[in-house]
Amino acid sequence: MAIAPEKIEVPAGSGAAHDDNFHNPPEKPSAQFHHDADEKTADLRHRELIQSALGKYYVARAGKQSKFQNWGAARQTAAEVKWEAVGHLDQYLREFEEKITARGTKVFWASTEEEARDYIVGVIKDAGARRIIKSKTMTGEEIHLNAALEKEGFEVAESDLGEYIVQLREEAPYHFVFPAMHLSRGEISDLFREKLGTAATDSPEELTMIAREVMREKYIAADVGISGGNFAIAETGMISITENEGNARLSVSLPKIHIAIMGIEKVLPKMSDLALFLPMLATAGAGQALTGYNTLLGGPKQEGEIDGPQEFHVVLLDNGRTKLLADPEQRDALSCIRCGACLNVCPIFKNVGGHTYGTTYQGPIGSVITPHFKEMQTWKHLSSASSLCGACTETCPVKIDLAHHLLQNRRNAATQKPVWWEKWAMKGFAWFMNQPRLYRLALKLAPLAQAFHPLVKGRRLDPLYVWTAGREFPKVKRETFKDFWAKRGNLG
């Protein structure tokens, strides 16, 4: 498998930096991860922003979740409904296709991100369109859609406020639900002043209104609206979009063409399943009972309707999903509804931040699925970026066993391509632990050796460098536990 990131020509100075390795493309993902993680964990300003934003999320989520009469049963059913959908994915997708096509929608199946990009570019070119309004789509990020559209000379505007901010900054979303969570209002004000020439302000409301004014004209002028989709309903042939701002509603209503792009795993059997999934997504994702707008779209403008697009295209993307489906152990990762809750509770995410992952999907779910979507050996380091605390598994509204999947990735990576020195190190350790005399001698010598530790401590020569570079090493006692126990006379 190719280790190099997908080659995409990125026009300089555009919002096209939405690439997985936007930091420094030639850098190896694992090296980039370590480098950025070191930097971010020491960045106290970053920590404060994330803690404060997530603090608000925790309070809101706990409040809304506690209103459920039985969150546990709701979770189990949501997991079972997705299990049913994913377990019969081919049948439900065909049903979805048949129903939505009958109402004048065009469905395109894309095996790879390239096929999806080419199709979308083709639709826009065929229509002679130029201006595109996008509402948030992570699948669009996954296929690097913006770069491809801008390369063709189309004008692309991200309408979701957070996405617009990161587009102006020419960086990838920080978090797949809260794209601009890493920025303070001051930084956003500076950004707007620089890019849009607006006056400085420290009011989030004024900043939001600036974006509103910019976007209003774009919605009306746009030829094409591009959105994602949170669910595809097989029974009725509809897609469902969840949002708060109303930007998706405008993007799918005003332009004459609407293109929705979504992963093949987004399907749900019945429309009424949404009675459970919509409130659960809102609660787990943002601590809301229901998000501002939940929209079901079952086709372009139908006969007798007042407005709406003349063309509606749905792109169903595989791009590695069938590989994940083929692993029964981790198949439930395809149940993910992208609420982002596992990121919000993850101690690793909170410390290293979203950009460090270098992936479209950050946090525990991203660490689980990225090696399947892309390539195991290049992305296996993400599965080690875990404390195995299990908070992700516990918080997941569809019960994906994320913490174990991280362990399974580690095991699979090592089975696939064993690391020679790790193998020898473990063998050596096993041998050493089976030598009681040597073990006792080492215990006796340890305090002595520690006296010389300051000579090398925290430097590259230090055998404990990985630990001591950022932490203190505990002082070794002269009296071992064994000695202490014997002295107490408890052995008899």
Residues 384 to 443 in contact with another protein, rule: CB under 8 A: 398-399, 401, 404
Least CB distance from residue 173 to another protein, whole Å?
11
Give CA 298 to chain center in angstroms.
27
Q: Which stretch binds another protein (CB under 8 A): 30-38, 212-220, 412-420, 476-484?
A: 212-220
136 vs 144 by CB, closer to another protein = 136
Contacting range for another protein; rule: CB under 8 A; set: 24-32, 202-210, 427-435, 466-474 = 202-210
Q: Least distance (Å) from another protein to the CB of residue 168?
A: 13
Q: How far is the CB of 443 from another protein (least distance, A)?
A: 38
* Nearer of residues 105 and 360 to another protein, judged by Cβ: 105
Nearer to another protein, 3 or 296 (CB): 296
Query: Which of 25, 246, 390, 447 forms a contact with another protein (CB under 8 A)?
Result: 246
Supply the minimum distance, in Å, between the C-beta of residue 392 and another protein. Answer: 16
Pick 301 or 453: Cβ nearer another protein: 301
Return the number of the residue (358 or 397) whose C-beta is nearest another protein: 397
CA–CA distance, 169 with 400 (Å, rounded to integer): 33
Residues numbered 16-45 forming contacts with another protein, rule: CB under 8 A = none
Closest-CA residue to 18 (of 136, 120, 191) = 136
Q: What is the nearest approach in angstroms of another protein to the Cβ of residue 255?
A: 11
Q: Using the rule CB under 8 A, which residue among 24, 98, 122, 482 binds another protein?
A: 122
Binding part of the chain for another protein, among 14-22, 314-322, 410-418, 479-487 by CB under 8 A, reads: 314-322
Which amino acid does the sequence have at 359? Answer: T
- Minimum distance from CB of 436 to another protein (Å)? 35
Nearest distance from C-beta of residue 236 to another protein, angstroms: 6
Q: Exactly one of 8, 161, 281, 343 binds another protein (CB under 8 A); which one?
A: 161
Verify binding: residue 83, another protein, rule CB under 8 A: yes
CB of 20 to another protein, least distance (A): 22
According to CB under 8 A, which residues from 282 to 311 bind another protein? 286, 288-302, 305-308
d(C-alpha 409, C-alpha 327), whole Å: 11
Within 329-368, the residues that bind another protein by CB under 8 A are 329, 331-332
Print the binding letters for residues 98-117 with another protein: x by CB under 8 A, - otherwise: -----x---xxxxx---x--
- In angstroms, rounded to a whole number, what is the distance separating the alpha carbons of residues 240 and 274? 9
* Cβ distance to another protein smaller for residue 280 or 382: 280
From candidates 132, 149, 226, 250, binder to another protein by CB under 8 A? 250
Query: Looking at 325, 336, 365, 382, which residue binds another protein (CB under 8 A)?
Result: 325
**129 interacts with another protein by CB under 8 A:** no
Question: How far from 180 is each of 45, 176, 183, 212, 336, CA to CA, in Å?
Answer: 15, 9, 6, 16, 22
**Of residues 216-235, which lie at the interface with another protein (CB under 8 A)?**
216, 219-220
The verdict on 3 binding another protein (CB under 8 A) reads: no
- Rank residues 274 and 369 by Cβ distance to another protein and give the closer one: 274
Q: Does 278 bind another protein (CB under 8 A)?
A: yes
Smallest distance, another protein to C-beta of residue 180, A: 5
Residue 243 CB, nearest approach to another protein (Å): 9
What are 105's two structure tokens? 């929608």
Among 32, 146, 159, 227, binds another protein (CB under 8 A): 159
Q: How many residues bind another protein (CB under 8 A)?
A: 117
Strand 238-243 versus strand 293-297 pairing type: antiparallel
Selected from 132, 148, 168, 180, the binder of another protein by CB under 8 A is: 180
From 2-10, 175-183, 348-356, 468-476, span contacting another protein (CB under 8 A) = 175-183
Distance CA 473, CA 450 (A): 10
Cα–Cα distance for residue pair 32/61, rounded to 1 Å: 33
Q: Supply angle C-alpha 291, 358, 193, rounded to 5.
A: 65
For position 447 contacting another protein by CB under 8 A, the verdict is no
Q: How far is the CB of 359 from another protein (least distance, A)?
A: 21
Closest CA to 311 of 259, 237, 247, 251: 259
